[in-house]
Structure formats: structure tokens, C-alpha cells
Amino acid sequence: MAAKIDNSGVTEGIVLPASVVQVLSVDVSADGCAALGCRSAWDTGLLVVIDVETGVVSEQVDMEAGPITSVAWSSRGLVAAGYRDRTDGSSVMTVWYPRRGTPIVQFVTLSRHADATAVWSSRDELAWGWREVDDQGNELAVISIWSPKGDGRARTLGKFSGWVGSVAWSPSGELAVGGWHADSGRGVAVWGSGRRPKGAPVTEHPVVHVAWSRDSRLAVAGPGGELAIWHR
């Protein structure tokens, strides 16, 4: 069961499909539809779309490969869904139009250590971060970008020693990447329009989550319960 809270603070239950045993990720679209990334009773993935106002399930997509760990709506009504394929351990990022039943694009990395986290910008650019391990056993973090207005291919924005915990777009189009950047000893890097981080390191400690405010302040959360607000 999922729940919604209205402006008066009243909580209402929303009944999910019986096959859902765990909700791993949620995002709500501008028109009030919630996309839920779920784990099924058979350890497969379910992408469930619900009208938040009525509680009606409008779409359910079964993914046999693995549970969906990340979902995100674009302003155009596209849904990005990331999961790890339990058959070979690869990380998969798919983009859907609800009701089509099949992804319009899909990106796969064969890394067995990849957990993708996705976010759309206000310009409908999809960014996601994942991990890979090279032939020497070194852990690398990779940031990928895809746009539906491009040639259909994803491009690599950055790759560095460390890991990715969270990615977030600012209102002005800057991308904050939280995690750990071993080469530079920083927890957050911010990319502008170029391919290199801009400005000074935001923090010298590992970061598990980043989020921007409307006035471009950056909230940074650490693994020990720390929270800091940075003014860019």
C-alpha cells in the first residue's frame, strides 16, 4: 500500500497491485501521476503508474530482469526507470512513454557493481550515475547524459575514481553529483555546460544525497546524518 497526504495533513491509503512487495523509488509528474519503481513477489521489477488524486492504477509494466531502483518523470511525460539485471548483473536505464508497453530507448552497462540513479533537467535532459569496475579492480563512477532531442545516443559527462550517491539538476542547468571523488578528495562536484567540474569542491567528505532549491542553493547530506546548505 502507498499513501498520500493532503494539505490538511490527512493520510489516505492507495492500494497497489497485489504483486508489489516493495516500493523502491517514487516520482510524481506535473499532472499528478505517480511512477513507482517496485520489487515483485518474484524478485522481478514492476513500473506502476498511479493517478494520485483517484488512486487508480493507470499502467503496470512488468520487467522480468530485476527490481526498479530509480524512476523519474520528464516534463514531456517520459518516465526513466533504472534497474539491475539479475541475470547478468548489468545496470540498465530505460525511457518509456506510459501506455506503450515497451521502452523507446535503453542503455546497458555490464558492470556488476552498478546502481543507477536518474534525474531529468528542466530542459528534458536525463542524467544518471552508475559504477563500474575496471580490469584492475578499481571502482569508477560514471555520469551519463541523454536527450530525446539528440541523436539517440548517451554521452559520458564524466568518469572518476569513486562512487555516485546522487545527482541533481539546478534550475539554471548545472548538474551536482554527490558521492566520493577519490582523485580530488571531494564529495560533490558541479558541472556546467562543459565536460569538467566548475568551481571549488563543495565538501571534502563523502555525500549520499544532493538537492537544489529554486534559488539555486544546494543541500548536501552525508552518510553520518549531516546536512549542509551551500549558496552558489
CATH of residue 161: 2.40.10
State which residues form the domain around 42. Answer: 14-110
Q: Considering 110, 140, 170, which residue would you say is the last residue of a domain? A: 110
Residue 165 lies in a domain: yes
- Among residues 170, 219, 213, the alpha carbon closest in space to that of 193 is found at 170
**145-198: pLDDT as tens digits:** 999 888 888 988 888 888 888 899 998 888 998 888 887 777 888 877 554 454
Q: How far apart are CA 115 and CA 104, in angstroms?
A: 21
Verify that 64 and 138 share a domain, yes or no.
no
Looking at residue 110, what is its pLDDT? 62
Verify that 33 and 103 share a domain, yes or no.
yes
Verify that 151 and 94 share a domain, yes or no.
no
Phi, then psi, of 67 in degrees rounded to 5: -60, 145
Q: Is the pLDDT of residue 200 over 50?
A: no
Verify that 100 and 131 share a domain, yes or no.
no
The answer to whether the predicted template modeling score (pTM) of the entire model surpasses 0.75 is yes
Looking at residue 231, what is its pLDDT? 74
Residue 151 lies in a domain: yes
Verify that 23 and 100 share a domain, yes or no.
yes
Q: Is the pLDDT of residue 114 over 60?
A: no
Query: Angle at Cα 48 formed by Cα 47 and Cα 49, nearest 5°?
Result: 125
Verify that 131 and 227 share a domain, yes or no.
yes
Verify that 131 and 104 share a domain, yes or no.
no
Side-chain half-sphere exposure of 75, counting CA atoms within 13 A: 6
Verify that 147 and 97 share a domain, yes or no.
no
The arithmetic mean of pLDDT across residues 121-134, rounded, is 86
Of residues 137 and 77, more confidently modeled: 77
**201-222: pLDDT as tens digits:** 456 788 888 999 998 888 888 8
Query: Count of domains in the chain?
Result: 2
Verify that 171 and 80 share a domain, yes or no.
no
Looking at residue 199, what is its pLDDT? 46
Residue 41 lies in a domain: yes
Verify that 100 and 32 share a domain, yes or no.
yes
Place of cell 533504472: 82
Cell of 23: 516500493
Q: How far apart are CA 116 and CA 81, in angstroms?
A: 9
Residue 71 lies in a domain: yes
Cell of 58: 493507470
Verify that 78 and 154 share a domain, yes or no.
no
